[in-house]
């Protein structure tokens, strides 16, 4: 029927009900507009949005489309985008979400209700209506302050009876089957890795293992008989995704094959983890934005589930929300006296779990920049996807010092410590004789730092850009030759050292203020928390830039030599002195990698494409190796027979993309994809641009 024919009946059915929709701010206004169009009054209903409820109560889900949610929750939804099917599925979704909410610890339920005013329509009122009274926590949870966390048992150091490595093919076949199919080439790889680990020493082993050979199992299995908590294995792969796959899939599967646990830990840089103390403080902010409230609610639920505190578990498309700047960990867990969450602190627990683990899994970038944080005694090393290691190391060492950002942060920090500013911390401590001098010192230091940057920028600008003009008024980048770098080093090293020193002193004061706030929260107003949160966020950014300045000083000899790195100056506009920044890129990382490898025993480099023109020479040169013996290389063919199992087809009648209209090309692609999809195999379609 047409809408006009049933509108009156629908209007009567919906009167005095609660309107529930998946994206209620689209469906409800749209329906009311249609009622008005046919002469009926708008409905005045309470409304609930299942999108926001799902975003809060299913914090680790990456997609909140109705078909994806129903699939995840195993709700039957045979006809997506068909009105009756969507409506029934939304009703079932609401029931499941309500059950999940009521299954949360009651303090978490109450915390969500307290923040429900920021939710769409009456969604917050719905949570209030179904919340259960406060009850004692179940054994699986622990509460500190406003936060309820999943109780994670403290792991103990486990020891296992040493098993003999399966040296023969028969032993390997017996061990692997039926879970894995025995592959002769994979067995050769296992034997080579095991023998290399037994020999020890600094000599590397390069293994090119063809696609489909099973290289991950090929190196993990032999190390399962060698690596211990005392002599660990570090595995570094190219991406965070591959790193997580190793921890979540490969290592547990191998443990099942071996019939024993393989203590392993995934390590990322501190900013990937939530700082519980900072997050708890953020909950005391006055008038947070709607986005902040929604994220806080999501995090409150997530904390009842996570065992790691790794923010990547949230699978967000972006982590640029202001809240994340406030609550990211810096690596400093404080002490039990100033941090009430010290014993539960995720990053501190991660550090402790490294001590107990036999296998440490990380990524190329972390290994390149933070190997010292692992603090291990000459562990074994496997670099997976080793063909990307040099490039990833170069990218990790490439730096941009954003002097404009440092100035902005210092200006905000100055306002926080200026007695004439309304939102200054001076007003918080106006009667505290001990802390007022500390704030005065902070104000003086921020002034000194701002003046130092201004001197630095003006001196560099006058030397390189004064009197120059450009027709293009946009971004300017100037590569520095050796003479320019020598001048920069000679004239600006003292200014850079001063800036590093002053930011370090600012950090000490900020830490002292943060400790005072956390140690005496009864002394402060609820609104004061926002100022301390701002102080913490500003300090984190300054420390990051300070560390970049330190790295610049450490790299100055390389820049002066001009053999491994290049430097450049940047301006947002030619005459915008305050935007001047410095960046540098390393194009030869061999020496840096060799310095890094001194920390490890018997490094192994693994990948499917390590050779160029059938030679390992290019890769070994990139990594700083010269004149390695033939025994350092092993090349294993893929088990796939491409001649029999693969075929390349070229469509000779395909139109040239630029020779036909966009509409005609799109029609051709749609028809071609339909033909490709009509087969028994999975099909992947790659486009050459986002526009296509």
CATH of the domain at 35: 3.30.420
Residues 487 and 513 in one domain: yes
Q: Is residue 641 part of a domain?
A: no
pLDDT at 563: 65
- Residue 419's pLDDT is 81
3-state secondary structure 580-608: CEEEEEECCCHHHHHHHHCCCEEEEEEEC
- The pTM (predicted TM-score) of the whole model is 0.79
- Average pLDDT value for residue range 75-93: 84
Both tokens assigned to 235: 């595995």
Structure tokens of 454? 């201004």
CA dist., res. 581 & res. 566, Å (int): 14
pLDDT winner (highest mean) among 362-376, 499-513, 673-687: 499-513
- Helix H or strand E encompassing 282: helix 276-282
| pLDDT band per the 50, 70, 90 thresholds, residue 156 | low
SS (H, E, C) 487-556: HHHHHHHHHHHHHHHHHHHHHHHHHHHHHHHHHCHHHCCCCHHHHHHHHHHHHHHHHHHHHHHHHHHHHH
| Cβ atoms of residues 362 and 234 within 8 Å | yes
Instruction: Name 30's Cβ contacts closer than 8 Å, sequence gap at least 6.
Output: none
pLDDT exceeds 80 at position 676: yes
Q: What is the pLDDT of residue 162?
A: 64
Q: What is the DSSP letter of 396?
A: H
Tens of pLDDT, residue by residue over 491-539, are 988 999 999 999 999 999 988 888 888 777 777 777 777 788 788 878 8
Contact 606, 387 (CB under 8 A): no
Out of 76-90, 557-571, 636-650, pick the least confident. Answer: 557-571
Whether residue 160 is contained in a domain is answered as no
- Say yes or no: 238 and 387 in one domain: yes
Mean pLDDT score, 224-244: 92
Residue 200: in which H helix or E strand, if any?
none
Give the C-alpha separation, 502 to 447, whole Å: 10
Looking at the structure of the chain, the number of domains it has is 5
- 42 is written with which tokens? 């708008």
pLDDT of 159 above 60: no
| Domain-located, residue 161 | no
Its domain, for residue 318, covers: 269-356
User: By C-alpha distance, which of 389, 395, 394 is closest to 609?
Assistant: 389
Q: What is the DSSP string of 45-93?
A: -EEEEHHHHHHHHSTT-S---HHHHHHHTT---SSTT-HHHHHHHHHHH
Residues 384 and 255 in one domain: yes
> Does a structural domain hold residue 236?
yes
Q: Is residue 451 located within the same domain as residue 567?
A: yes
> Of 534, 560, 579, which marks where a domain is finished?
579
139 pLDDT more than 60: yes
Q: Note whether 558 and 604 are same-domain residues.
A: no
pLDDT, tens digit (0-9, with 9 covering 90-100), for 594-613: 989 999 999 999 999 999 98
pLDDT tens-digit readout, 306-345: 999 999 999 888 888 888 888 889 888 878 887 889 999 9
402 in any annotated domain: no
Tell which of 305, 340, 356 closes a domain.
Answer: 356
| 306: its two tokens | 């996570």
Do 373 and 249 belong together in one domain?
A: yes
Report the 10 Å Cβ neighbour count for 88.
17
- Whether 532 and 596 map to the same domain: the answer is no
342 and 387 share one domain: no
Q: Which of 443, 355, 365 is nearest to 398 (CA)?
A: 365
Residues 442 and 547 in one domain: yes
Contact between 462 and 580 under an 8 Å Cβ cutoff? The reply is: no
Q: Is residue 157 part of a domain?
A: no
Residue 273 placed within a domain: yes
Over its C-alpha atoms, the chain yields an Rg (Å, rounded) of 30
pLDDT digits 0-9 by tens, 611-623: 998 899 999 999 9
Q: Chain-wide mean pLDDT for the chain? A: 88
184 and 236 share one domain: yes
Instruction: List the CATH number of the domain containing 233.
Output: 3.40.50.300
* Residue finishing a domain among 562, 579, 596: 579
* Residue found by looking up tokens 């550090």 in the block: 351
pLDDT at 470: 59
Whether the upstream peptide bond of residue 178 has omega within 30° of 0, thus cis, is yes
How far apart, in whole angstroms, are the C-alpha atoms of residue 262 and residue 653? 55
**Residue 631 — pLDDT band, cuts 50, 70, 90?**
very high
In a domain, 22, yes or no: yes
**H/E stretch holding 154:** none
pLDDT digits (tens, 9 = 90+) for 409-437: 899 989 888 888 777 888 888 878 888 88
* 446 and 517 share one domain: yes
The stretch 62-66 carries a mean pLDDT of 90
Asked if residue 438 and residue 368 are part of one domain, the reply reads no
């Amino acid at each position: 029927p047409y809408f006009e024919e049933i509108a009156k009946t629908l209007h009567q059915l919906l009167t005095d009900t609660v309107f529930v929709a998946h994206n209620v701010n689209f469906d409800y206004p749209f329906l009311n507009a249609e009622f008005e169009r046919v002469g009926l009054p708008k409905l005045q209903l309470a409304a609930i949005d299942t999108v926001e409820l799902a975003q809060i109560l299913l914090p680790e889900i990456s997609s909140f489309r109705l078909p994806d949610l129903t699939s995840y929750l195993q709700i039957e939804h045979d006809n997506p985008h068909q009105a009756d099917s969507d409506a029934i599925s939304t009703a079932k979704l609401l029931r499941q979400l309500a059950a999940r909410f009521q299954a949360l610890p009651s303090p978490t339920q109450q915390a969500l209700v307290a923040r429900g005013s920021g939710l769409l329509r009456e969604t917050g009122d719905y949570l209030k209506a179904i919340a259960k009274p406060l009850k004692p926590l179940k054994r699986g949870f622990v509460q500190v302050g406003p936060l309820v966390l999943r109780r994670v048992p403290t792991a103990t150091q486990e020891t296992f009876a040493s098993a003999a490595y399966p040296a023969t093919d028969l032993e390997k076949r017996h061990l692997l089957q039926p879970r894995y199919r025995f592959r002769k080439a994979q067995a050769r790889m296992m034997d080579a890795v095991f023998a290399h680990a037994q020999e020890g020493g600094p000599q590397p082993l390069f293994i090119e293992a063809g696609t489909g050979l099973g290289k991950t199992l090929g190196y993990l299995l032999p190390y399962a008989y060698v690596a211990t908590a005392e002599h660990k294995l570090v595995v570094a792969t190219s991406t965070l995704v591959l790193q997580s796959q190793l921890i979540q899939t490969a290592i547990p599967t191998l443990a099942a094959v071996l019939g024993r646990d393989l203590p392993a830990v995934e390590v990322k840089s501190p900013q990937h983890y939530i700082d519980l103390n900072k997050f708890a403080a953020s909950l005391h902010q006055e008038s947070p934005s709607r986005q902040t409230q929604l994220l806080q609610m999501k995090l409150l639920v997530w904390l009842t589930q996570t065992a790691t505190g790794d923010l990547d578990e949230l699978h967000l498309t972006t982590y640029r929300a202001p809240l994340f700047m406030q609550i990211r960990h810096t690596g400093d867990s404080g002490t039990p006296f100033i941090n009430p969450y010290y014993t539960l602190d995720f990053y501190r627990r991660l550090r402790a779990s490294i001590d107990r683990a036999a296998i440490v899994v990380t990524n190329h970038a972390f290994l390149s920049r933070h190997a010292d944080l692992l603090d291990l005694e000459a562990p074994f090393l496997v670099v997976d996807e080793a063909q990307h290691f040099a490039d990833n190391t170069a990218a990790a060492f490439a730096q941009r010092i954003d002097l404009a950002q440092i100035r902005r942060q210092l200006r905000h920090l100055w306002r926080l410590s200026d007695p004439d500013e309304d939102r200054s911390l001076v007003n918080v401590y106006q009667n505290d004789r001990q802390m007022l001098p500390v704030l005065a010192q902070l104000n003086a230091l921020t002034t000194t730092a701002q003046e130092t940057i201004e001197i630095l920028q003006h001196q560099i600008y006058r030397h390189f850009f004064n009197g120059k003009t450009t027709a293009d008024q946009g971004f300017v980048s100037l590569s520095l030759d050796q003479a320019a770098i020598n001048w920069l080093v000679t004239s600006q090293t003292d200014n850079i050292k001063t800036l590093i020193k002053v930011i370090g002193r600012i950090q000490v004061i900020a830490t002292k203020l943060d400790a005072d706030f956390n140690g005496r929260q009864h002394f402060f107003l609820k609104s004061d928390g926002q100022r301390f949160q701002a102080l913490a966020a500003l300090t984190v950014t300054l420390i990051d830039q300070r560390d970049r300045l330190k790295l610049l000083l450490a790299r100055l000899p390389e820049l002066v030599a001009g053999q491994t790195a290049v430097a450049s100056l940047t301006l947002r506009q030619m005459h915008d002195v305050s935007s001047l920044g410095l960046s540098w890129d390393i194009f030869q990382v061999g020496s840096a990698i060799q310095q890094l490898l001194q920390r490890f025993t018997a490094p192994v480099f693994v990948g499917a494409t390590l050779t160029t023109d059938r030679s390992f020479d290019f890769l070994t040169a990139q990594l700083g190796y010269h004149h390695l013996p033939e025994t350092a290389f092993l090349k294993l063919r893929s088990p796939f027979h491409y001649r029999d199992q693969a075929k390349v087809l070229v469509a000779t009648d395909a139109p040239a993309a630029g020779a036909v209209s966009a509409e005609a090309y799109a029609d051709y692609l749609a028809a071609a994809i339909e033909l490709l999809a009509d087969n028994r195999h999975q099909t992947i379609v790659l486009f050459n641009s986002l526009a296509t």
